[in-house]
Amino acid sequence: MKKLITLSIALLAFTFSNAQETTKATKKVAKKAATTKVTTPAVPKVEGAGMVFVSETIDYGTIAANSDGKREFVFTNNGNKPLIITNATGSCGCTVPSYSKEPIAPGAKGVIGVKYDTSRAGQPFTKTVTITSNATGTPSKVLTIKGNVLAAEAPKS
């Protein structure tokens, strides 16, 4: 009988100590998971120069007439060679793009600025900006801006 009681106590002691070790291990894994940084998926690399945009469309939404029409398209050179933008043209005179004439290094970010003439009020708009570059596979890229400019209020007399 003494052997049975001793064996039971030993088994209980082993079970409790093992449970505590499991709890410590679980806490350690949880702590490590909590401190691990969440990273965004890497942009796929290309041979040569590349251009990956955060968004290829900018929606101005509904904006007031004569408000600030400046916006930016942000991109990353996902290639292993410098990206050179050779031209940027708007689909009409109301859309004026701007860009850096300097090469964008591999892995670096760049910006294509665009300014829409918000004095053209009272109707929705959809315009494009065509980018020409040395990007591998897509040397020409079409970006889109859209929105609606409210009609200007009539002057009060």
For 12, the token pair is: 């209980």
**Is the pLDDT assigned to residue 5 strictly greater than 90?**
no
- The CA dihedral of 33, 35, 36, 40, to the nearest 10 degrees, is 120
For 110, the token pair is: 């760049």
Question: In 10 A of CB 156, how many CB atoms?
Answer: 4
**Is the pLDDT assigned to residue 127 strictly greater than 90?**
yes
For 47, the token pair is: 């041979």
Do 82 and 130 contact (CB within 8 A), yes or no?
no
Question: In 10 A of CB 25, how many CB atoms?
Answer: 10
Amino acid at residue number 92: C
Provide the pLDDT for residue 31. Answer: 53
**Rounded CA gap, 131 and 141, in Å?**
5
pTM: 0.68
How far the first Cα of the chain sits from its last, in Å, is 108
Instruction: Note the pLDDT tens digit of each residue in 14-67.
Output: 555 554 444 455 455 455 544 444 444 456 788 999 999 999 999 999 999 999
Question: Residue 31 burial by CB count (10 A; 0-12/13-18/19+): exposed, middle or buried?
Answer: exposed
Provide the pLDDT for residue 16. Answer: 53
